Structure 1
Amino acid sequence: MENSALQSFMNFLQTTSDLVAAEVSQSSFWYQVEAIIGAIILSLLVSRFLAHRIRRWEEYFSKENVSHSIARFCLQLARRLFFSIFAALFLSLGASVIADQHLLAEKSFNLINIGYQIFYAWALLVFMIQLFTTFVATDSLLQQIKKPLYVIFWILAILEIVGILPKFIQALRAINLPIGSDSLTLWALIVGAITIFVSLLLAHWLSNLCDSALNSAKDIDNNLKIVLSRLIHIAFMAVAVLISLSTMGLDLTILSVFGGAIGVGLGFGLQKIASNYISGFIILFDHSVKIGDTVEVAGFNGKITQIKTRYSVLRNFSGEEMIIPNETFVTQNVKNFTFTDRASVATVETSIGYECDVNRALAILVEIARRQSRVLESPTPWAVVSGFGNDGINLKLSFWVKDPENGTSVLRSSIMKEVLERFNAEKISIPYTIRDVTLKGELKIKAANDSAS
């Protein structure tokens, strides 16, 4: 058995070498070689010239929107396909010249046909790489799989050129897999897997384009943008999987059984997770909390920076972040400081001596608050007497801050520094506590050397 296989392989090599030797010895072979080399040289010159022009056009489509992304993708694809397209075109012209000069018979165009197939295969490979780069958009992943992808592709291309690939495909089609009501061939399974991969990449790219379009829309609420983005992403992925499975010849009715089993598993094992996912859509739809709101929930006070599908992220003024499950916003009490109005009240307290002019001190406080850029003019700031202390009269300044999510510590500090400067200039004293200590009886001081002796 092994000897017969080895003999068959040796006969194949011998036949191939005789065929190559016979072709090389003919002048028609070298005419074809000259036509292929000339096509490659001319294609390199023309493609480089046009690629330089197209790079300039790409600079006009630098915006991150749908129309610019599609235009940029088409220009980049055309720039990369120029070599193979013009090589095939110039090779066709060379073949026409050879045929017009009657340098060889039409049936002898074997090498030129191989050249056509190589150029077309190169164009297909460039197209696949461009699609993968655009849809996945990860250069690191592309660099990892680029070499294996090239090797696999050219092996398949060589098998197609020599005529072995069709026989291999026919053998895969003859292998049936008992899946579903109909028999599924191994070739259909491979094609379906490739279709699923390509469909998911295409769905991912389309969902990203929709995200860009939604983010650029100014008349849509941020919460609605997030909801639509997630629904579009889920819809594209589901459609891609269903289309891919149908191309494989699978009966989609069998998915109902698995869907029911998955639903039961989610109901019992993933109840909390499912509740958080549903709560995430609820808070996005009812606008109870929004990105940028300042809230207090679960004992944590901060601004909402992210609303994910399962959780939300709060960031306080100290830079600390808290991950809150979305269910908490639905089932617990939430204090939203910016629910109807983003502005909130801040206060500054001080005191003056009993001998000072109270009305003048109150006017100074209001005047200083009005000069601050972050303080709203309406409602106007107000100052009141809040009490009579042991050392002086207590005053309280209140004002509305239009952006409390940025914090009020720096603003209050600036106001208090100006209050101190104005009070000193206006001779308004700020009292402080003074304590007199009285010692009764005889005070004896013992020297250190006396205690040592």
Structure 2
Amino acid sequence: MKSLWLSAIREKKLTVIHDWLLRHVLTYDNLAQALLIIAALLIAFLVGNRINRKFSTPELPQKRFGQFLVAVLPLATPLLWLFLQLVSLLVAVEAEWPHNLLTIVVHLLAAWIVIRTASLFFNNTAWIRLIAVLAWTLAALNILDLLRPTISLLDRFALKFGGLRLSLLTVFTGFLTLALLLWGARLLSHLLEKRIRENSTLSPSIQVLFIKLSKITLITAAILVGLRIVGLDLTGFTIFTGAVGVGIGFGLQKIFSNLISGIILLLDKSIKPGDVITVGETYGWVNSLGARYTSLIAPDGKEFLIPNEDLITQQVENWSFSNSTVCLIIPVGISYNADVRKAMALCEEAARQTERIIQDPPPRCLLVAFGESSVDLELGAWINDPANGVKNVKSDVLLKIWETFQKEGMEIPFPQRDVHIRTMPPGTEGMAGKAPEPPPAGNTLPG
């Protein structure tokens, strides 16, 4: 009896489901909409493939806007499908035909295209996931006709600060708007940076200055426009900005000092990317000029981040400021028994035979001092490419001097000490014969 009762309930449920499918799903209206969707998909697929075959060439990335086209071409078919579905939806709405299935497909397709576009232009997976969640959520709410009630609910949760009303909807839309504007400002700044760097008439320091100013301007404009779009009155932040200004004056003075110092360095062109400089004990090539620091790459590959303020207040040796021709001072020591004039000539000849040493002005060797163990010479040799390294040139010159001295029999001395013993200490008779008698008390030692 119980089994018959359960089977009757199951049969009744199946009947209800069957009737619902016949009334709402398996209808001629839905069938016509499905055929229209399939036809739009086939047309978009055929046309999209032809567009991809026409524009997908190996030379495309080198053309103007080529990289943008390479990124957009995979979206050709989905965009065409969405366009055809929108046209079909507009026609159905105007003709008052059933269009519920078309609406669902348009919303889902739009969300999918947004996610695909985000994956092309964003490298951060966290941002892509966030955009995917937002896109699918908005599509689902719109399909279920819950988007407007959700917006009204978010707008009800609000706080008032004087004349400022801040709701969850304001915070949510402000966050999205600000994120999109900042992303657009960042993308535009990259395009401007590329165009500025391609302009060979601008010096490297001016290029960096224009790039930094454009980034600051675009980001500031994006923040201000985002706040205005959300509806926030910027005059209400006057007291807040005054407090921030006081905080900047006390707590952030070093940061702003480095920022202003960086702008000064870019304006006076005293230091620019590619220069070879020495700051204190740090020597290397200027890799980039940042808003707060300057990147300096040492010959051993280490990268030093020098605060811009140090480059203004400290003494800086710039090997390529106004003239890239610099003189290398190389000390050389020879024996006191050597022919000094011959040694000086050999040093000059060794420098002339080194590849990167230029001949005008010619290398010059001078006698500078009589040292404790050697006659001290000083070789001056000139180069015009300090950006390619300085120590490596000194090494090549010294190696050539060593080889030349070895061929000519020229001695390079090393420190020596001669010890002269005037008296033998007591108790050493067995070591070196009988020791001399010690002098009487009160007498001074000889010598």
TM-score, with structure 1 as normaliser: 0.74
- Once the two structures are overlaid, the 10-residue window that deviates more, 141-150 or 239-248, is 141-150
Aligned position for 2:143: 158
Q: Would you say the 8 A contact 1:348–1:412 is kept in 2?
A: no
- Once the two structures are overlaid, the 10-residue window that deviates more, 206-215 or 123-132, is 123-132
Q: How many residues align?
A: 410
CA distance in 1, matches of 2:168, 2:393: 71
Q: How does 1:34-45 map to 2 (within 5 A)?
A: 34-45=35-46
TM-aligned CA deviation for residue 188 of structure 1? 5.1
Residues 356-378 of structure 1: CA distance to partner in whole angstroms, max 9, x if unpaired? 4x555444332321232221222
Q: How does 1:84-163 map to 2 (within 5 A)?
A: 84-86=79-81, 89=84, 107=96, 109-110=97-98, 113-122=99-108, 124-129=110-115, 132-133=118-119, 137-142=122-127, 144-145=129-130, 147-159=132-144, 163=145
Q: How does 1:352-367 map to 2 (within 5 A)?
A: 354=337, 356=339, 359-367=341-349
Aligned position for 1:72: 67
Compare relative contact order (CA 8 Å, sep 6+) and give the higher one, 1 or 2: 1
TM-aligned CA deviation for residue 201 of structure 1? 1.0
TM-aligned CA deviation for residue 267 of structure 1? 1.0
CA distance in 1, matches of 2:283, 2:90: 77
CA distance in 2, matches of 1:393, 1:40: 90
Q: Would you say the 8 A contact 1:313–1:321 is kept in 2?
A: yes
TM-aligned CA deviation for residue 23 of structure 1? 4.3
Tell me whether 1:314 sits opposite 2:304 in the alignment. Answer: no
Q: Which letter does structure 1 place at the counterpart of 2:231?
A: G
Aligned position for 1:60: 59
CA distance in 2, matches of 1:194, 1:436: 83
Q: How does 1:394-405 map to 2 (within 5 A)?
A: 394-405=376-387
TM-aligned CA deviation for residue 381 of structure 1? 0.9
TM-aligned CA deviation for residue 138 of structure 1? 1.1
CA distance in 2, matches of 1:29, 1:171: 33
Q: Would you say the 8 A contact 1:35–1:91 is kept in 2?
A: no
Q: Would you say the 8 A contact 2:333–2:413 is kept in 1?
A: no
**Runs of 5+ in structure 1 lacking a partner?**
1-13, 100-105, 447-453
Q: Which letter does structure 2 place at the counterpart of 1:351?
A: I
CA distance in 1, matches of 2:120, 2:128: 14
Q: Would you say the 8 A contact 1:196–1:241 is kept in 2?
A: yes
Q: Which letter does structure 2 place at the counterpart of 1:62?
A: P
Given candidates 283, 288, 312, the residue that maps to 2:270 is 288
CA distance in 1, matches of 2:150, 2:85: 33
Q: Would you say the 8 A contact 1:293–1:337 is kept in 2?
A: yes
Tell me whether 1:228 sits opposite 2:223 in the alignment. Answer: no
Tell me whether 1:430 sits opposite 2:411 in the alignment. Answer: yes
TM-aligned CA deviation for residue 251 of structure 1? 1.8
CA distance in 2, matches of 1:47, 1:384: 77
**Runs of 5+ in structure 2 lacking a partner?**
1-14, 433-447
Alpha-carbon spacing, 1:201–1:179, altered in 2? closer, same or farther (3 Å): farther
Aligned position for 1:47: 48
CA distance in 2, matches of 1:232, 1:202: 13
CA distance in 1, matches of 2:338, 2:225: 86
Q: Would you say the 8 A contact 2:357–2:381 is kept in 1?
A: yes
Given candidates 253, 261, 275, the residue that maps to 2:235 is 253
Alpha-carbon spacing, 1:431–1:248, altered in 2? closer, same or farther (3 Å): closer
Alpha-carbon spacing, 1:23–1:133, altered in 2? closer, same or farther (3 Å): closer
Residues 213-242 of structure 1: CA distance to partner in whole angstroms, max 9, x if unpaired? 122222222222222212111111111122
TM-aligned CA deviation for residue 203 of structure 1? 0.8
Residues 83-140 of structure 1: CA distance to partner in whole angstroms, max 9, x if unpaired? 35246638978999xx9xxxxxx65x42xx23433443355335533553455x3153
CA distance in 1, matches of 2:174, 2:417: 89
Aligned position for 2:334: 351
Q: Secondary structure at the match of 2:202?
A: coil
Q: Secondary structure at the match of 2:61?
A: coil
Q: How does 1:265-276 map to 2 (within 5 A)?
A: 265-276=247-258
TM-score, with structure 2 as normaliser: 0.75
Q: Would you say the 8 A contact 2:82–2:109 is kept in 1?
A: no
Q: Which letter does structure 2 place at the counterpart of 1:381?
A: P
CA distance in 2, matches of 1:237, 1:16: 56
Alpha-carbon spacing, 1:253–1:125, altered in 2? closer, same or farther (3 Å): same
Calculate percent identity across the aligned residue pairs.
Answer: 26
Aligned position for 1:3: none
Query: Please, what is the CA RMSD of the aligned residues?
Result: 4.0
Alpha-carbon spacing, 1:261–1:353, altered in 2? closer, same or farther (3 Å): closer
- Once the two structures are overlaid, the 10-residue window that deviates more, 433-442 or 256-265, is 433-442
CA distance in 2, matches of 1:16, 1:258: 62
Q: Which letter does structure 1 place at the counterpart of 2:322?
A: T
Given candidates 182, 201, 217, the residue that maps to 2:183 is 201
Q: Which letter does structure 1 place at the counterpart of 2:352?
A: R
